[in-house]
Amino acid sequence: MKHGDTTITLQREGSPFKGLWVVTVKEMADHMGSIRIRLLFALIGLAAVSAIYSAVQQIRSVVGEDPFVLLHVFTVSQDPLPSFVAFLSFLIPLGAIALGFDAINSEYNRRTLSRVLAQPIYRDAFLMGKFLAGFLTLALTLVVLWLLVIGLALFVLGVPPSAEEIGRSFMFLIAALFYAGVWLTIAMLFSVVFRQPATSALAALGVWLLFAIFWNMLAGLIGQIPSNQMAQLMSQLWFSRISPNTLFAEAMVALLDPTTRSLGPILYSQLEGAMLGTALPFGQSVLLVWPQFTGLIAEVILLFTGTYIIFQRQEIRA
Amino acid sequence: MKTVAAFPRPFKVRVRHTRGVSLPDPQPEELDPACAIQAKGLRKAYGNVVAVKELDLSVRKGEVVGLLGPNGSGKTTTILMLMGLTEPSDGWARVLGYNPLRDPLSVKRRVGYMPDSVGFYDHLTATENLEYTAMLAGLDAASRKARIREVLTHLELSNVADKKVGTFSRGMRQRLGLAEVLVKEPGIIILDEPTSGLDPEAAREFLAIIRALKERGITILLSSHLLHQVQEVCDRVLLFYRGEKVLEGTVGDITRRVMGSTRMFMLEVAGTDPNRVLASIPGILRLSKQGEGKWTVEADRDIRADIADGVTRGGGRLLALSDSEPTLDDVYARYFEHMRTKDAERAAMNSTEEQKFVRAGERSSAEEQETKGAAPQKEDSP
């Protein structure tokens, strides 16, 4: 066969973002109207109100002396209920998985994928739109929750929060959002890999259990490998920090407990001149958790990239 | 020098290339402006499985072309390559002058594609479903609303426009699929198995709509395995078999090519046995019984006079005798019967060759072992 000598370059015409906003808006509308998200709202709302109520009961007695009342509303727990943040670190993955586990495979199963991709858009916009819709929905949920907590604390305790408290809790909100983003991308990755939504939901929940329960045990095992004690400690720490749960928990501790000075092992020599038990300034706390923030964001990007590559290579015929 | 060979070989990473493979571009003189779709040497392989083999295709503007073939013969893969929804392994295609590999958005903006067993978002209404794809297609808000209403009315779906698609029947979904295609006002319409799963009445209605579109001058490419339907609407037919285009032409052309000069006659007699009275007619090829007193006669020439003569002479009464045009179904059946026997022959031949090959392989590996066993001894000796 005789053909021209020219070869096709890798480049394609047109923007990969065309149609992104249309997909995002439609998917978000779907999320908002779904029974799934209503159940989730009810669950989170119930957990929030009960956790805060019990925290407030305990805090009330010490209201006068505490400069960080609002932050304690987040972290204080009273048996048998866990604290609000403990509830959150538990419910965020659940909510994110619920929004993402059938993102792509349901389109295959409903046979809508080839019809939508026959419109003048690239797959990029479709996947990105689905992610953005889930992410924005989670963001909306978390912001509402955040405002609810602050409002409730203000109403019940009658103490206005300081600027620093608002700043710290806002940074915590951002951390929670990216923590949710990690779970959303994990769920979406499985929705691309597995054709059955039930399988992908199960796989995502399996990963969640792995990180929530077994990861610290594994980290302990890894920690026993090196001979040197410092190396043991560091390897354990590094391994456990692969888990988004660890990253989120560390960010949470450093932001909501201003007295936190370090998130790893610390030498006595480093503590010289430190006033233990006093609060760190806001900027210093943020500096302390900056690596954790970076880690969470990097995990979102890596997982999304993986999902993107697999999705691009898939055949779209059902 | 021997020590060098003892080192392990560096890793060979096998990279699956789907992109980056240089695909040919057409020469300017190969492109025909009168063609809506052109493809040459189009090929698609999934690993070792070849889905489409070196396909040449051209569809003139305003033509209705049918892609025919059994399931899995490469029709859908061909369509997906034309839409830019899957990448060809080799060859080029141009759709309305655009390259679907390089510029799929321009192709998809101008081509309406209805996939087989089309699906919709069941929790949305018919209008909402169409609005979503119309927005993705880039239609502005004002024209979108009007177009959707107009198309739904045209396809007799206006009374269910605000009903959820979850309640729709198969035929209604299929019409909604066509409605979506029409909202875009496409230059080319590609329909993949548009009538599969429809009851005969719904299929007939659907074909009537397609015929109406054809009269408006829209180029249509449709795939099907139901021949009589394709026969009704298509100007030209491409017959696929195992990823290859095996026959191409008008229904009449293909019929003549496959059936040769064979002619078929319908015969209805009473009071005699045609097997007995017609056997001696020269040129008769086959006589088969279709029902009580009903027969089809295949012959290599017009033997109607001889049949009539034979029946009356044999003491029977001739009730009907007509020249019947072979339908595409007959052609299809005949053709695939032919291909299957060919395949069977080829398979039989291959298996004997394979056996020979295996035997040869065994022998050579045995030889290899012998030499290997001998090698260390050689090395030991100075």
Averaged pLDDT score across all residues of chain B = 82
Residue in B with minimal Cα distance to A110: B119
The verdict on a CB contact (< 8 Å) between A12 and B23 is no
Instruction: Evaluate if residue B17 carries a pLDDT over 90.
Output: no
- Sign of the four-CA dihedral A200, A202, A203, A208: positive
Could you tell me where in chain B the CATH 3.40.50.300 domains are found?
15-249
Q: Provide φ and ψ at A314, rounded to 5°.
A: -80, 150
Supply the pLDDT for residue B378.
Answer: 39
Max mean pLDDT range (B23-27, B218-222, B259-263): B218-222
Measured between CB atoms, which of B25, B76, B113 is closest to A3?
A: B25
Instruction: Evaluate if residue B292 carries a pLDDT over 50.
Output: yes
Please, are residues B218 and B188 in contact by the beta-carbon 8 Å criterion? yes
Contact list in A for residue B112 (CB cut-off 8 A) is 118
Element (H, E) at A97: helix A84-100
**What tokens does A209 get?**
């259990």
Q: Name the amino acid, one letter, at A173.
A: L
**What tokens does A265 get?**
């092992």
Mean pLDDT of B171-190: 94
Mean pLDDT of B323-341: 75
Distance from CA of B112 to the nearest CA of A (A): 8
Supply the pLDDT for residue B16.
Answer: 46
Q: Is A237 exposed, middle or buried (0-12, 13-18, 19+ CB in 10 A)?
A: middle
Supply the pLDDT for residue B150.
Answer: 94
The C-alpha atoms of residue B165 and residue B174 are separated, in whole angstroms, by 11
Supply the pLDDT for residue A201.
Answer: 96
Among all chains, which residue has been given the structure tokens 């007995």? B276
Q: Which residues of B137-157 are buried (b: 16+ CB within 10 A; e: fewer)?
A: bbbeeeebeebbeebbeebeb
- Sign of the four-CA dihedral A214, A217, A223, A225: negative
Contact list in B for residue A13 (CB cut-off 8 A) is 102-103, 105-106
Supply the pLDDT for residue A62.
Answer: 67
Which value, to the nearest 10 degrees, does the dihedral of the CA atoms of residues A273, A276, A282, A284 take?
40
Please, are residues B297 and B323 in contact by the beta-carbon 8 Å criterion? no
Instruction: Evaluate if residue B8 carries a pLDDT over 70.
Output: no
The C-alpha atoms of residue B112 and residue A246 are separated, in whole angstroms, by 50
Please, are residues B95 and B82 in contact by the beta-carbon 8 Å criterion? yes
The verdict on a CB contact (< 8 Å) between A114 and B177 is no
Nearest to A73 by CA among A88, A85, A61: A85
In percent, how much of chain B has pLDDT > 90?
A: 40
The C-alpha atoms of residue B333 and residue A214 are separated, in whole angstroms, by 62
The verdict on a CB contact (< 8 Å) between A26 and B19 is no
Instruction: Evaluate if residue B337 carries a pLDDT over 80.
Output: no
The C-alpha atoms of residue B119 and residue B197 are separated, in whole angstroms, by 13
Higher pLDDT, B369 or B171: B171
Measured between CB atoms, which of B99, B108, B119 is closest to A119?
A: B108
Which H, E and C letters describe B13-78, residue by residue? CCCCCCCCCCCECCCHHHCCCCEEEEEEEEEEEECCEEEEEEEEEEEECCCEEEEECCCCCCHHHH
Please, are residues A137 and A31 in contact by the beta-carbon 8 Å criterion? yes
The C-alpha atoms of residue B230 and residue B183 are separated, in whole angstroms, by 24
Out of A216-225, B148-157, B301-310, B349-358, least confident range: B349-358
The verdict on a CB contact (< 8 Å) between A14 and B106 is yes
Measured between CB atoms, which of B102, B104, B119 is closest to A115?
A: B119
Parts of chain A with a pLDDT under 50: 1-8
The verdict on a CB contact (< 8 Å) between B18 and A313 is yes
Residues 11-30 of chain B with CB under 8 A from chain A are 18-20, 22-27
Domain boundaries, chain A: 15-313
Residue in B with minimal Cα distance to A14: B105
Could you tell me where in chain B the CATH 3.30.70.100 domains are found?
263-325
The CATH code of domain B263-325 reads 3.30.70.100
Supply the pLDDT for residue B106.
Answer: 94
3-state secondary structure of A77: coil
Instruction: Evaluate if residue B129 carries a pLDDT over 90.
Output: yes
Q: Name the amino acid, one letter, at A13.
A: E
Out of B40-54, B211-225, B288-302, least confident range: B288-302
Supply the pLDDT for residue B125.
Answer: 96
Domain B15-249 has CATH 3.30.565.10: no
CA distance readout (Å), B309 to B251, B262, B281: 33, 21, 10
User: In 10 A of CB B345, how many CB atoms?
Assistant: 10
Instruction: Evaluate if residue B369 carries a pLDDT over 50.
Output: no
First to last CA, chain A: 33
CA distance readout (Å), A22 to A17, A119, A133, B107: 10, 12, 10, 20
User: In 10 A of CB B382, how many CB atoms?
Assistant: 3
Q: Provide φ and ψ at A6, rounded to 5°.
A: -65, 145
Element (H, E) at B318: strand B317-324
Nearest to B114 by CA among B142, B146, B143, B155: B155
